[in-house]
């Protein structure tokens, strides 16, 4: 709701439609296709997990980081141990599948216990590899989950398919980034530039030039942020955490605007600031699932807005404002 219904990068696509019907269709397509799209994305991860239960895989998927230290005898020993553990795990999985097909409960239970033990040995060796990497280089990124899909692409797909998939990734990234940068440039121009330069509001040509400059500045900021985000252990999780911290309050603003008409601008503004401060404080002090911050931020924004409006002066009606 917050991203596809209130984020400027998405809303600008709806209002860019030729008619109200097209805008509504865009919103509905986003709402309907979001669920199967997320299912496919998550299914891809599950399929990769199953694939690497039967296929050889490196002890550490970030091979660029691992190869910097691969000449060390300890790292070579870990690689050999991991290769042996993976082979044993694959044999145990196949034995469990055969036992499961035999309808022998005792045999299946024994094979399952052996499979679990082999999988635990493999995970223990991977944990040892990460510890060894951190011991040699304390600044090394020891989380390699972001590199599993890349490893699959580079090692399993034919060369032509790799190039095509990389082109698809770049196309999808450029499409998303173009929308984000256009949204940032437009909102900065409308909400800030024209607010502080009201005499320039009527000069649309100048506004377009200013929007282009703001877009370029936001592009520089995005590059700097991307370089900083590269330091994160898990980039996808870091992006989701960042969105969860801010999107809940954003959704709360729109919920108040649509369903609590008596709440004034001052109340909802201070409520949003307070709710955002609460979410950030909870994130820094508590250890809860980050997806809950969406609900907490939205609920806090609504509750604070209603509570503040109860103590603030009543909202003046539009007709009274025009009469005054």
Based on the number of CB atoms within 10 Å of its own CB, is 19 exposed (0-12), middle (13-18) or buried (19 or more)?
A: exposed
- Mapped onto helix, strand or coil, the DSSP state of residue 202 is coil
The DSSP secondary structure of 58-106, one letter per residue, reads -SSS-HHHHHTSTTSHHHHHHHHHHHHHHHHHHHHHHHHHHHHHTT-HH
Residue ranges per domain, the chain?
Answer: 55-156, 157-233, 234-316
State the Cα–Cα distance between residues 69 and 139, nearest whole angstrom: 13
pLDDT at 322: 43
Supply the Cα-derived Rg of the chain in whole angstroms: 27
CB 25 within 8 A of CB 13: no
Q: How far is CA 111 from CA 51, 108, 114, 115, in A?
A: 20, 5, 5, 6
Q: How many CA atoms lie within 13 A of 120 on its CB side?
A: 6
Q: What is the torsional sign of CA 293, 237, 38, 219?
A: positive
State the Cα–Cα distance between residues 54 and 69, nearest whole angstrom: 27
Q: Cβ contacts of residue 181 below 8 Å, gap of 6+?
A: 215, 218, 219, 222
- In this prediction the pTM is 0.65
Based on the number of CB atoms within 10 Å of its own CB, is 321 exposed (0-12), middle (13-18) or buried (19 or more)?
A: exposed
Tens place of pLDDT per residue across the chain (324 aa) = 666 666 666 676 667 677 778 777 877 777 777 778 878 888 988 999 999 999 888 989 988 888 887 777 888 898 899 999 999 999 999 999 998 888 888 888 999 999 999 999 999 999 998 888 888 888 777 888 888 888 898 888 887 888 888 888 888 778 778 877 888 888 888 888 887 777 666 777 888 888 889 999 998 988 887 777 666 656 777 778 888 888 888 888 888 888 888 888 888 889 999 999 999 999 999 888 888 998 899 999 999 998 988 887 776 554 444 444
């Amino acid at each position: 709701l917050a991203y596809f219904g209130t984020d400027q990068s998405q809303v600008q696509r709806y209002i860019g439609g030729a008619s109200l019907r097209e805008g509504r269709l865009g919103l509905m397509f986003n709402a309907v296709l979001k669920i199967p799209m997320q299912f496919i994305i998550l299914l891809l991860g599950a399929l990769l997990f199953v694939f690497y239960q039967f296929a050889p895989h490196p002890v550490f998927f970030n091979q660029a980081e691992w190869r910097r230290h691969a000449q060390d005898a300890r790292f070579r020993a870990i690689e050999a141990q991991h290769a042996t553990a993976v082979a044993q795990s694959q044999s145990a999985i196949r034995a469990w599948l055969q036992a499961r097909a035999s309808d022998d409960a005792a045999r299946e239970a024994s094979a399952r216990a052996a499979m679990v033990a082999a999988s635990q040995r493999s995970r223990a060796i991977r944990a040892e590899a990460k510890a060894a990497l951190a011991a040699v280089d304390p600044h090394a990124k020891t989380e390699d989950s972001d590199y599993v899909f890349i490893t699959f692409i580079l090692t399993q797909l034919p060369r032509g398919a790799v190039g095509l998939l990389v082109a698809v990734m770049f196309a999808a990234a450029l499409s998303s980034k173009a929308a984000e940068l256009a949204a940032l440039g437009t909102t900065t121009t409308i909400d800030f530039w024209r607010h502080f330069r009201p005499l320039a509001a009527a000069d649309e040509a100048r506004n377009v030039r200013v929007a282009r400059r703001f877009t370029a500045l936001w592009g520089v900021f995005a590059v700097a942020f991307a370089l900083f985000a590269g330091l994160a252990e898990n980039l996808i999780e870091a992006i989701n955490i960042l969105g969860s911290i801010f999107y809940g309050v954003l959704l709360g603003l729109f919920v108040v605007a649509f369903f609590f008409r008596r709440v004034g601008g001052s109340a909802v503004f201070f409520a949003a600031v307070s709710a955002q401060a609460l979410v950030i404080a909870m994130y820094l002090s508590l250890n809860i699932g980050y997806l809950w911050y969406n609900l907490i931020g939205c609920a806090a924004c609504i509750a604070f807005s209603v509570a503040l409006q109860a103590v603030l002066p009543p909202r003046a009606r539009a007709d009274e404002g025009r009469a005054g």
